[in-house]
Amino acid sequence: MDPDVRAGHPATASRQPHPVSAVLLVAHGSRSPEGQQEMLAFGRLLAAAAPEVPVATGFLELCQPPADQALDDLVAAGATQVAVLPLMLAPADHTKSDVPAVVLLGRRRHPTVQLLPARPLGTDLAVLATAAARLHEAGATGLPLCLVARGTSDPEANAEAYRAARLLAEANRSRLVEVGFAGVTWPTTTEALERLVAQGAREIVCLAWFLSTGLLVQRIWQDCAAFSRARGLPVRAAGHLGPDPRLGPLLRDRLEEALAGRATMTCDVCAYRAPFPGLEDRLGHPLGVGRSHLAATHRHHHHP
């Protein structure tokens, strides 16, 4: 018997190799070469954390290879069981629609292969610890905090950014905290910074709540720099999360949840599950309704 099992360490015991043949990380994609490389680096993190499982990374848009092609390549290489893991933070449209479409279409193309969905990384302690480290590295402990997330039309995902901001403010001892979004919804980065100044902030730290860099992250720093010049007020850029080693074990945890059939998401206010005020048309919407090429393929398949 494994000595750690004898010693009564169930977490260690759960790390035993699983009969999964492979894992597919599904990333959004980016036009930024640096962002693309960071997404691929997450695959290497998972490969190091789960060396017994082959890892491939595919993209929903903007990058190669597409997620469906990466899945096909795993199957062609002999995979008979694949965990499909969203390389994303929040349960937004891509996670709720496009990534499930990867699974759904994959099952149709490969009916003898078992495809197991995993949940996104979410506001996990490992993610918060990584974000807190970025603030510490910026010398920003205790400073008023502006957390800027991607922004989406999904109310649940936007609300999750506020939850993350409050948790991170607690960890960073920031008595002032505001949330901004890089696109789609409100408030903007600049509006969030203005709110902090209105509350008395004289110096601000800004953190991009993104797993990898890209054009949106670059826009956040441009907005911060323009605000700082216009206001004459320092705004420290604490960066983004990035492929930090702290996140390797979390990726493995998400993989193991999928293998155990425990990959569930909180759906209490999901607009696809129950009527959300103002978004009633989303109720029961078919999978694959997002903006990626994968979603377009799925729509065409069902709505010729």
125 contact partners, CB below 8 Å, separation of at least 6: none
Res 262: pLDDT: 85
Q: What is the mean pLDDT of residues 234-261?
A: 96
- DSSP state for residue 286 in the 8-state scheme: P
Q: Give the residue-averaged pLDDT of 12-32.
A: 73
Long-range contacts of 278-281 (CB under 8 A, 24+ apart): 279/155
pLDDT at 270: 62
87 or 290: whose pLDDT is higher?
87
Residue type, 72: D
pLDDT value, residue 302: 35
- pLDDT single digits (tens) 203-238: 999 999 999 999 999 999 999 999 999 999 999 999
User: Cα separation of 278 and 150, whole Å?
Assistant: 21
From the candidates 9, 18, 28, 300, give the one annotated as an active-site residue.
28
pLDDT digits (tens, 9 = 90+) for 66-118: 999 999 999 999 999 999 999 999 877 778 889 999 999 999 999 999 999 99
Q: What is the pLDDT of residue 13?
A: 39
Residue 284 CA to residue 287 CA, distance in Å, equals 9
Q: What is the pLDDT of residue 279?
A: 59
CA distance 287 to 275: 17
pLDDT tens figures, 156-189: 999 999 999 999 999 999 999 999 999 999 999 9
Can you tell me the distance from the alpha carbon of 23 to that of 70, in angstroms, rounded to the nearest whole number?
10
CB 46 within 8 A of CB 25: yes
User: For all residues of the chain together, what is the average pLDDT?
Assistant: 86
110 is catalytic: no
Per-residue pLDDT tens digits for 24-49:
999 999 999 999 999 999 999 999 99
pLDDT band at 298 (very low <50, low <70, confident <90, very high): very low
User: Is residue 290 over pLDDT 60?
Assistant: no
Least confident of 124-133, 185-194, 260-269: 260-269
Q: What is the pLDDT of residue 282?
A: 61
Report the length, in residues, of the chain: 304
CA dist 236 and 213 (Å) reads 17
